[in-house]
Amino acid sequence: MSGEDAGSSAKVFPFFSIQPPSAKTFRCFDRFGRLVPVAWDRWRGVRGPCWRRTRTAPIRFSCPSPFATREILPAGASVEGEALGGLTRAEAIEVVRQKVAEPLAQPLTVSHGTETFTLDAASMITVDVEGMVETAFAPKATASLTARVGARVMDRTTGLAVAPAITVDETALEAWLTGVASKIDTAPANAEMIVAGTKLKTVPSRVGTVVDRSAATAAIIAALNDGVKNVELPVTVTEPDVAEKDLGPTILVRRSLRKLYLYDHGELVKTYSIAVGTPSYPTPLGDFEITLKRYRPTWSNPGSDWAKDMPAYIGPGPGNPLGTRALNLNVSGIRIHGTSSDYSIGSAASHGCMRMHMWDVEDLYPRVDIGSPVHIIR
């Protein structure tokens, strides 16, 4: 007997037991849930027992509404590892909101060296909670009644494991990265020697750093999607052309002390006594460089009043005013050179040049290069 009892939604079916088929025909459920006779030869080769009708007392089965069971997520359904099987849609949405969406919206720390920057992930992303639950539920929602009944009888896992569905506001992210880059981006700087008071000081070199915007955007988006909360900021590094080890010779002249100091690789290596210009022809103050090195130079008459009685040229030799070596600077008529007037060393005696003992200028000459800086201070 089959049918429905009065005043009850429970259907009454004859009891079915699992028995191997022995008759030519038996009854099975069709796709509408009705008992129909089935010929044995249609099922030949099917492995295992079949449902066969036996004439025992009827038993009452309670069948939940198909619409109610459709709203229960299937076994195996999950979002980002959070199991949702057996939950209603509303319950699943709340679980995903608390266990998946809220952690994803927590702040993200972006680091570069000792500097850290905090990204407000909640303002950058949209998490599609309902969409993820819908995707996890999809296999059951679209399955036929027969497929759903079969899955329940066979205890099959039909739910999907769903990855987070996140949309990143790339415009907002780009604006945030612009602010970070303004604090990180720096041009490379060469090491140099500068005057600090009455000495030379080494200014160290600095590498240039520029935020790799494309790589940074990709790394942060990946972290936002994966729930990673720490990202190392990708930067491009440019080395300076001149590091401390590359610093060449540099000269410092203290005019008031009549001293010339030679530095190399940032260190003071030698001090020489010199003569400087008279008050009428003072040695100029400022930052200069060596433009020409002259071995056994020829002196040329500058046409000044003090030289009007001197020859146009004086070749190399004992009477040459420039001595055996001369270093021209990038200022007209000013040189560092030797002299045979050793008595003038330590005084203001020249017409603007810096005189040295012959042995001192010959010692200095190979130690400096064209382009070596010369700083003259009081």
Contact, 81 vs 52, CB < 8 A? Answer: no
- The reported pTM is 0.62
The pLDDT score that the predictor gives to residue 230 is 97
Neighbours of 265 (CB within 10 A): 15
Q: Where in the chain is CATH 2.40.440.10? A: 250-377
253: burial class by Cβ within 10 Å (0-12, 13-18, 19+)? buried
Taking only the tens place, the pLDDT of each residue in 86-129 is: 899 899 999 999 999 999 999 999 999 999 999 999 999 999 99
The pLDDT score that the predictor gives to residue 67 is 39
Contact, 274 vs 354, CB < 8 A? Answer: yes
83: burial class by Cβ within 10 Å (0-12, 13-18, 19+)? middle
| Residue 74, helix vs strand vs coil | coil
| Residue 116, helix vs strand vs coil | strand
The candidate with the shortest Cα–Cα distance to 337, out of 327, 350, 348, is 327
Pair of tokens at residue 56: 């025992």
Query: CATH class for domain 250-377?
Result: mainly beta
Residue with structure tokens 């089965």? 61
Report how far residue 243's alpha carbon sits from residue 63's, in angstroms, rounded to the nearest whole number: 83
Neighbours of 8 (CB within 10 A): 10
Mean pLDDT by 10 residues, the chain (378 residues): 41 40 48 50 42 44 44 83 89 93 95 96 94 79 50 57 91 96 96 94 96 97 94 97 93 98 95 97 97 96 86 91 97 95 97 97 98 97
DSSP for 171-222 reads HHHHHHHHHHHHHH-B--B--EEEEETTEEEEEPPB-EEEE-HHHHHHHHHH
For the chain, give the longest Cα–Cα distance: 148
**In the structure, how many helices (H) and strands (E) does the chain have?**
8, 28
- Counting other chains too, the contacts that 44-51 makes at CB distance below 8 Å and 24 or more residues apart are 49/18, 49/19, 49/20, 49/21, 50/19, 50/20, 50/21, 50/26, 51/16, 51/18, 51/27
The set of residues, in sequence order, having a beta carbon less than 8 Å from that of 206 and lying 6+ positions away, is: 186, 188, 189, 240
Contact, 253 vs 376, CB < 8 A? Answer: yes
The pLDDT score that the predictor gives to residue 50 is 45
The candidate with the shortest Cα–Cα distance to 319, out of 341, 290, 295, is 341
E strand map for 315-360: 325-329, 335-339, 348-350, 354-357
Pair of tokens at residue 336: 């560092």
- β-strands 267-277, 348-350 pairing: parallel
- β-strands 335-339, 208-211 pairing: unpaired
Pair of tokens at residue 301: 């008459």
The set of residues, in sequence order, having a beta carbon less than 8 Å from that of 190 and lying 6+ positions away, is: 205, 240, 241, 242, 243
Taking only the tens place, the pLDDT of each residue in 185-200 is: 999 999 999 999 999 9
The pLDDT score that the predictor gives to residue 353 is 96
Pair of tokens at residue 90: 């509303």
Report how far residue 297's alpha carbon sits from residue 330's, in angstroms, rounded to the nearest whole number: 17
The catalytic residues are 337, 353
| Residue 282, helix vs strand vs coil | coil
Pair of tokens at residue 85: 């099987």
The pLDDT score that the predictor gives to residue 107 is 97
The pLDDT score that the predictor gives to residue 28 is 52
The set of residues, in sequence order, having a beta carbon less than 8 Å from that of 229 and lying 6+ positions away, is: 106, 107, 108, 109, 223
Angle between helices 213-226 and 170-184 (to 10 degrees): 130
What residues does 327 pair with on adjacent strands? 293, 336
The candidate with the shortest Cα–Cα distance to 289, out of 239, 345, 324, 250, is 250
